[in-house]
Chain A
Amino acid sequence: DIQMTQSPSSLSASVGDRVTITCRASQGISNFLAWYQQRPGKVPKLLIYAASTLQSGVPSRFSGSGSGTDFTLTISSLQPEDVATYYCHDYSTAAAAHTFGGGTKVEIK
Protein backbone atom coordinates (compact mmCIF):
# COMPACT_ATOMS: atom_id res chain seq x y z
CA ASP A 1 0.00 0.00 0.00
CA ILE A 2 1.04 3.58 -0.60
CA GLN A 3 2.17 5.55 2.45
CA MET A 4 1.75 9.31 2.64
CA THR A 5 4.17 11.19 4.88
CA GLN A 6 3.37 14.77 5.80
CA SER A 7 5.76 17.28 7.30
CA PRO A 8 5.94 19.04 9.57
CA SER A 9 3.40 17.51 11.95
CA SER A 10 2.78 20.96 13.38
CA LEU A 11 3.89 24.52 12.84
CA SER A 12 3.38 27.94 14.33
CA ALA A 13 3.56 31.05 12.15
CA SER A 14 2.57 34.70 12.27
CA VAL A 15 -0.34 36.28 10.45
CA GLY A 16 0.82 37.20 6.97
CA ASP A 17 3.57 34.55 6.84
CA ARG A 18 3.99 32.18 3.94
CA VAL A 19 3.38 28.61 5.10
CA THR A 20 4.44 25.44 3.29
CA ILE A 21 3.36 21.88 4.06
CA THR A 22 4.82 18.91 2.26
CA CYS A 23 3.49 15.45 1.52
CA ARG A 24 5.59 12.60 0.19
CA ALA A 25 4.17 9.42 -1.34
CA SER A 26 6.00 6.11 -0.97
CA GLN A 27 5.61 5.57 -4.71
CA GLY A 28 4.60 7.71 -7.66
CA ILE A 29 0.95 8.75 -7.73
CA SER A 30 1.05 11.15 -10.68
CA ASN A 31 -1.20 14.05 -9.65
CA PHE A 32 -3.86 12.00 -7.82
CA LEU A 33 -3.59 14.10 -4.69
CA ALA A 34 -5.98 16.30 -2.74
CA TRP A 35 -5.56 18.61 0.25
CA TYR A 36 -8.14 19.19 2.98
CA GLN A 37 -8.53 21.66 5.80
CA GLN A 38 -10.14 20.60 9.07
CA ARG A 39 -10.81 23.40 11.50
CA PRO A 40 -11.19 22.43 15.16
CA GLY A 41 -14.47 20.59 15.72
CA LYS A 42 -15.46 20.85 12.08
CA VAL A 43 -15.84 18.57 9.08
CA PRO A 44 -12.94 18.32 6.60
CA LYS A 45 -13.12 20.68 3.62
CA LEU A 46 -11.62 20.02 0.19
CA LEU A 47 -9.11 22.72 -0.75
CA ILE A 48 -7.21 21.35 -3.73
CA TYR A 49 -7.53 18.34 -6.04
CA ALA A 50 -5.42 16.96 -8.87
CA ALA A 51 -2.44 18.29 -6.88
CA SER A 52 -2.86 21.90 -7.98
CA THR A 53 -6.50 22.67 -8.87
CA LEU A 54 -8.20 24.99 -6.42
CA GLN A 55 -11.67 23.85 -5.34
CA SER A 56 -14.41 26.36 -6.07
CA GLY A 57 -14.82 28.93 -3.31
CA VAL A 58 -11.40 28.37 -1.73
CA PRO A 59 -9.35 31.56 -1.24
CA SER A 60 -6.56 32.09 -3.75
CA ARG A 61 -3.93 32.30 -0.99
CA PHE A 62 -4.05 28.48 -1.02
CA SER A 63 -2.09 26.71 -3.73
CA GLY A 64 -0.80 23.23 -4.42
CA SER A 65 2.03 21.87 -6.49
CA GLY A 66 3.90 18.68 -7.22
CA SER A 67 3.64 15.44 -9.12
CA GLY A 68 4.90 11.90 -8.68
CA THR A 69 6.01 11.55 -5.09
CA ASP A 70 6.50 15.07 -3.73
CA PHE A 71 3.71 17.57 -3.15
CA THR A 72 3.33 20.94 -1.47
CA LEU A 73 0.46 22.96 -0.03
CA THR A 74 1.25 26.66 0.32
CA ILE A 75 -0.65 29.36 2.16
CA SER A 76 0.75 32.58 0.74
CA SER A 77 -0.35 34.84 3.59
CA LEU A 78 -1.53 33.08 6.74
CA GLN A 79 -4.83 34.35 8.18
CA PRO A 80 -6.36 33.69 11.61
CA GLU A 81 -9.13 31.60 10.03
CA ASP A 82 -6.50 29.26 8.59
CA VAL A 83 -5.86 27.72 12.01
CA ALA A 84 -6.62 24.09 11.28
CA THR A 85 -5.15 20.69 10.58
CA TYR A 86 -4.32 20.03 6.94
CA TYR A 87 -4.32 16.57 5.35
CA CYS A 88 -3.08 15.28 2.04
CA HIS A 89 -5.01 12.46 0.38
CA ASP A 90 -3.78 9.99 -2.22
CA TYR A 91 -6.54 8.71 -4.50
CA SER A 92 -4.41 7.02 -7.12
CA THR A 93 -5.40 3.72 -8.65
CA ALA A 94 -3.27 1.42 -6.54
CA ALA A 95 -5.53 -1.39 -5.29
CA ALA A 96 -8.60 0.86 -5.07
CA ALA A 97 -7.38 2.01 -1.66
CA HIS A 98 -7.10 5.66 -0.72
CA THR A 99 -4.69 7.01 1.89
CA PHE A 100 -4.50 10.14 4.03
CA GLY A 101 -1.35 11.72 5.34
CA GLY A 102 -0.92 12.08 9.08
CA GLY A 103 -1.90 15.75 9.14
CA THR A 104 -0.20 19.08 9.83
CA LYS A 105 -1.54 21.28 12.59
CA VAL A 106 -1.19 24.98 11.82
CA GLU A 107 -1.33 27.53 14.63
CA ILE A 108 -0.85 31.27 14.88
CA LYS A 109 2.23 32.49 16.72
Chain B
Amino acid sequence: EVQLVESGGGLVQPGRSLRLSCAASGFTFGNYAIHWVRQAPGKGLEWVSGISWNSDTIGYADSVKGRFTISRDSAKSSVYLQMNSLRAEDAALYYCAKAGGAGSYYMGMDAWGQGTTVTVSS
Protein backbone atom coordinates (compact mmCIF):
# COMPACT_ATOMS: atom_id res chain seq x y z
CA GLU B 1 0.00 0.00 0.00
CA VAL B 2 1.32 3.42 -0.97
CA GLN B 3 1.82 5.64 2.06
CA LEU B 4 3.02 9.20 2.40
CA VAL B 5 3.46 10.57 5.91
CA GLU B 6 4.19 14.23 6.48
CA SER B 7 5.77 15.61 9.65
CA GLY B 8 7.50 18.70 10.93
CA GLY B 9 4.61 21.13 11.06
CA GLY B 10 3.93 23.35 14.03
CA LEU B 11 3.68 26.87 15.33
CA VAL B 12 6.44 29.22 14.22
CA GLN B 13 6.97 32.96 14.45
CA PRO B 14 7.04 35.10 11.31
CA GLY B 15 10.51 35.24 9.83
CA ARG B 16 11.58 31.91 11.32
CA SER B 17 12.20 28.55 9.62
CA LEU B 18 10.65 25.12 9.57
CA ARG B 19 11.54 21.87 7.82
CA LEU B 20 8.81 19.52 6.65
CA SER B 21 9.43 15.85 5.91
CA CYS B 22 7.52 13.38 3.77
CA ALA B 23 8.27 9.71 4.39
CA ALA B 24 7.23 7.38 1.57
CA SER B 25 6.60 3.65 1.49
CA GLY B 26 4.80 1.04 -0.58
CA PHE B 27 6.33 2.00 -3.93
CA THR B 28 9.76 2.38 -5.56
CA PHE B 29 10.47 5.83 -4.20
CA GLY B 30 13.44 6.51 -6.48
CA ASN B 31 11.27 6.31 -9.61
CA TYR B 32 8.70 8.98 -8.77
CA ALA B 33 8.43 12.75 -8.57
CA ILE B 34 7.05 14.14 -5.34
CA HIS B 35 5.22 17.42 -4.83
CA TRP B 36 4.18 19.64 -1.95
CA VAL B 37 0.70 21.15 -2.08
CA ARG B 38 -0.80 23.38 0.60
CA GLN B 39 -4.28 24.39 1.60
CA ALA B 40 -5.00 27.34 3.86
CA PRO B 41 -8.06 26.96 6.11
CA GLY B 42 -11.23 27.21 4.02
CA LYS B 43 -9.25 27.84 0.83
CA GLY B 44 -8.31 25.93 -2.30
CA LEU B 45 -5.30 23.84 -3.19
CA GLU B 46 -2.03 25.62 -3.98
CA TRP B 47 0.90 23.79 -5.55
CA VAL B 48 4.07 24.76 -3.65
CA SER B 49 6.99 22.77 -5.02
CA GLY B 50 7.97 19.60 -6.80
CA ILE B 51 11.05 17.47 -7.37
CA SER B 52 11.59 14.90 -10.09
CA TRP B 53 12.67 11.32 -9.47
CA ASN B 54 16.34 12.16 -10.04
CA SER B 55 16.22 15.75 -8.69
CA ASP B 56 17.01 17.11 -12.18
CA THR B 57 13.75 19.05 -12.32
CA ILE B 58 12.71 21.21 -9.39
CA GLY B 59 9.97 23.80 -9.38
CA TYR B 60 8.55 26.37 -7.00
CA ALA B 61 5.47 28.52 -6.90
CA ASP B 62 6.25 32.22 -7.25
CA SER B 63 4.86 32.76 -3.75
CA VAL B 64 7.65 30.68 -2.16
CA LYS B 65 10.52 31.04 -4.65
CA GLY B 66 13.72 32.08 -2.90
CA ARG B 67 12.38 31.12 0.54
CA PHE B 68 11.58 27.40 0.25
CA THR B 69 13.90 24.59 -0.83
CA ILE B 70 12.85 21.07 -1.75
CA SER B 71 15.16 18.05 -1.60
CA ARG B 72 14.99 14.28 -1.50
CA ASP B 73 16.96 11.45 0.08
CA SER B 74 16.51 8.12 -1.67
CA ALA B 75 18.27 6.23 1.13
CA LYS B 76 15.54 7.40 3.50
CA SER B 77 12.69 7.41 0.94
CA SER B 78 11.94 10.94 2.01
CA VAL B 79 11.36 14.38 0.59
CA TYR B 80 11.95 17.56 2.54
CA LEU B 81 10.70 21.12 2.33
CA GLN B 82 12.92 23.68 4.01
CA MET B 83 10.84 26.78 4.65
CA ASN B 84 12.67 29.99 5.55
CA SER B 85 11.45 33.53 6.21
CA LEU B 86 7.98 32.26 6.95
CA ARG B 87 5.04 34.63 6.60
CA ALA B 88 1.50 34.60 7.94
CA GLU B 89 0.25 33.70 4.47
CA ASP B 90 2.30 30.47 4.54
CA ALA B 91 0.03 29.06 7.25
CA ALA B 92 -1.72 26.02 5.82
CA LEU B 93 -2.08 22.27 5.79
CA TYR B 94 0.87 20.97 3.75
CA TYR B 95 0.38 17.77 1.77
CA CYS B 96 3.00 15.75 -0.02
CA ALA B 97 1.80 13.91 -3.10
CA LYS B 98 3.25 11.32 -5.46
CA ALA B 99 3.29 11.67 -9.23
CA GLY B 100 1.01 9.21 -10.99
CA GLY B 101 3.66 7.60 -13.16
CA ALA B 102 7.27 6.61 -12.94
CA GLY B 103 9.95 8.74 -14.49
CA SER B 104 8.02 11.92 -15.16
CA TYR B 105 7.67 15.18 -13.27
CA TYR B 106 4.78 16.27 -15.47
CA MET B 107 1.92 14.14 -14.24
CA GLY B 108 -1.11 14.21 -11.99
CA MET B 109 -0.77 13.17 -8.35
CA ASP B 110 -2.26 9.80 -7.50
CA ALA B 111 -1.43 9.46 -3.81
CA TRP B 112 -1.52 12.03 -1.04
CA GLY B 113 -0.52 12.10 2.60
CA GLN B 114 -2.80 13.34 5.36
CA GLY B 115 -0.87 16.58 5.68
CA THR B 116 0.98 18.49 8.38
CA THR B 117 -0.21 21.84 9.69
CA VAL B 118 1.97 24.94 9.68
CA THR B 119 0.87 27.91 11.77
CA VAL B 120 2.74 31.20 11.48
CA SER B 121 2.02 33.60 14.29
CA SER B 122 3.79 35.74 16.84
Residues of A at the B interface (CB closer than 8 Å) are: 1, 32, 34, 36, 38, 43-46, 48-50, 55, 85, 87, 89, 91-93, 95-103
Contacts and interface: CB of A to CB of B under 8 A. Distances in A.
Interface in B71-122: 95, 97, 100, 105-110, 112-115
Given A103-B44, A103-B45, A43 B106 contact: no
Contacts of B95: 43-44
Contacts of B107: 34, 49, 91
A93 B106 contact: yes
* Closest 10 pairs between A and B when the two form their complex, measured CB to CB: A96-B59, A34-B108, A49-B108, A98-B47, A103-B44, A100-B45, A43-B112, A46-B110, A97-B59, A91-B106
A96 B109 CA distance: 15
A1 B62 CA distance: 9
Contacts of A89: 45, 47, 108-109
A96 B112 contact: no
A22 to B, nearest CB: 16
Most chain B CB within a 10 A radius of its CB, from A45, A49, A91, A92: A91
